[in-house]
Amino acid sequence: MSIAQGTKLGQYEVQDFIGQGAMGLVYRAYHSDLERTGAVKVMQAITPDPDTVARFRHEAQAIARLRHPNIVDVYDFGEFQGTPYMIVEYVPGGSMAGKMAHGVLDRASALRYLRGIAAGLDYAHGHGVVHRDVKPANVLLTADDAPVLADFGLAKLMQGSSLKSMTGVTTGTPAYMAPEQVTGGQVGPAADRYSLATIAYEMLTGVIPFDGEALMELLYAQVHRYPSPPSARDSTLSPQVDAVIMRGLAKSPNERWESCTAFVDALAAAFDGAPAAGVAATMVMAPPVAATRPIATTAVAERVATQPQPATVAVPTAVVQPRPRNRRRLLLGLAALLILLLILGVCAEVALATTLALNPDRVAPGGTVTVTATHVPANQAGEIQLWSVVHTYPFRANANGVVTQDITVPVDVELGNHTVKICWDNSCHKQAPLRVVAGVGEVQPTPVAGSTPSAGPRSTATPRSTPRPGSSPTPNSTPSSSSTPRPTSTPTSRP
């Protein structure tokens, strides 16, 4: 659903299209009386039934009461043609995801960003609000390079959406989801702390804890496995840093840090080489993996162990030394055989490698893509995965090992580069790039330069001003009595 330029949403007038976030389209809008720019987030991902809309209003009111420098302000909310929308601060500085895409952050910068994120999360938790989807794309950056949390609590509104119906898990982004979110358990502040530890891991190592996993493998890993410690990715990181982050990634919520700020303080102490309080007793390491012995060897060993043995055993052994020439011939023959087998194996792999093609490979949200795969095992059942979001599509190959299936790209998918994978037997065997773009086959306003589609937007170019005496709040505006204004601010605007 698109909104035409000039459309009035309460006291805000839509100016232009910014892009698309996880919840739907994002537009820039302007309040002429307050001389304030905002971002309109159209909640297309929310089912517009009365119960969901009522929950949306309740969540919007709770989020609007949050007044913190590291949390995006909510200005207004309502419905447009039956679809809920929310007007929030416009933050044009991009997101943390863009910053982290350039590689590992230096430790001072990582600490500065983490402190801001932690302060915002702890404040929200103190007011009974859990974010549920803390990830780099939801951390916006102001013109002063300060982190600001966006999309607070919106993941909760997607309960009962296509994600939950397909997987049975609570909504969120898989790479940053706490184990209790994956299993559908009770989600509290500790889930946000797990996500913050995941972001810290990525900032310092350049990769997420479970990198390169297929979707279902990733969800399984979040619940049952422990990642490699950060020092395994970067040897310059100390064991103290490992201890702090691994506690943040503990599977049990009760074993994680008691607050986000406590986690960042401990990480800062670890950078300085000082042991952080509360680490040694609670550091979580990966459990040892028992080696699997060959069946025959195991059986023989157990049989020998159960037989009575004489007190002493003397067995004379005749040592036969092979002739040097025969040994050389044997080694040369084995080497030639191995080379031949290697060549045959490579040829067979090339000939039988799975192929994957997408038509088209550029599509708008809600569009259809035909996925074609060959050299899949005959009659094999599996799933096609749209990576970076939790969407899977089951398939079954035909007798010739060919898969041809149409998949529909979700309307709530973010714009940009995605990956389609074909998976079976708990492994993904081939992948292909898919570009999701706005307005394929339809006219969309020109995106604002430098804007981040996945971001929920904050204005730093236009100072927040005091409303004119004659202005009045929109029907759905949050009452001033329900918010705690910042110093020098008025009930309806922030300085």
* Digit-coded pLDDT (tens) for 99-111: 998 889 999 999 9
Residue pointed to by tokens 């797990």? 194
Do 359 and 369 form a contact (C-beta atoms < 8 A)?
A: yes
DSSP letters, 90-135, are ---S-BHHHHHTT-PPPHHHHHHHHHHHHHHHHHHHHTT---S---
For residues 118 and 258, what is the distance between their CA atoms, to the nearest angstrom?
A: 12
Per-residue confidence (pLDDT) for residue 343, from 0 to 100: 64
Residue pointed to by tokens 């801001």? 116
3-state SS record for 471-482: CCCCCCCCCHHH
For residues 251 and 286, what is the distance between their CA atoms, to the nearest angstrom?
A: 11
For residues 493 and 31, what is the distance between their CA atoms, to the nearest angstrom?
A: 11
Q: Which residues of the chain fall below pLDDT 50?
A: 159-170, 281-322, 346, 348-351, 441-495
Residue pointed to by tokens 């990966």? 286
In what side-by-side order are the strands of the sheet with 74-80?
Answer: 8-9, 12-20, 25-31, 36-42, 83-89, 74-80
Per-residue confidence (pLDDT) for residue 423, from 0 to 100: 84
Q: Could you give phi then psi for residue 9, rounded to 5 degrees?
A: -115, 100
For residues 7 and 10, what is the distance between their CA atoms, to the nearest angstrom?
A: 10
What is the Cβ-side half-sphere exposure of residue 432, based on CA atoms within 13 angstroms?
17
Torsion on CA atoms 249, 251, 257, 258, rounded to nearest 10: 150
Burial call 183-218: b when 16+ CB within 10 Å, e when fewer: eeeebebbbbbbbbbbbbbbbbbbbbbbeebbbbbb
- In three-state secondary structure terms, 398 is coil
Q: Is the pTM of this model over 0.95?
A: no
The pair of three-digit structure tokens given for residue 160, joined into one six-digit string: 């009962």
Q: Which of 134, 87, 114 is nearest to 493 (CA)?
A: 87
User: What are the tens digits of pLDDT across the range 264-282?
Assistant: 999 999 999 877 566 654 4
Catalytic positions, written as ranges: 133
Domain locations in the chain as residue ranges: 353-436
For residues 40 and 221, what is the distance between their CA atoms, to the nearest angstrom?
A: 36
User: What are the tens digits of pLDDT across the range 211-265?
Assistant: 876 788 888 999 999 999 999 999 999 999 999 999 999 999 999 999 999 999 9
Backbone angle region of 184, left / alpha / beta, with phi > 0 → left and psi within -120 to 50 → alpha: left
- In three-state secondary structure terms, 151 is coil
Per-residue confidence (pLDDT) for residue 24, from 0 to 100: 74
For residues 75 and 58, what is the distance between their CA atoms, to the nearest angstrom?
A: 15
H or E stretch including 329?
Answer: helix 324-352
Q: For domain 353-436, give the CATH number.
A: 2.60.40.1930
Per-residue confidence (pLDDT) for residue 300, from 0 to 100: 31
Long-range contacts, stretch 181-185, CB < 8 angstroms, 24+ apart: 181/132, 182/219, 182/222, 182/223, 183/223
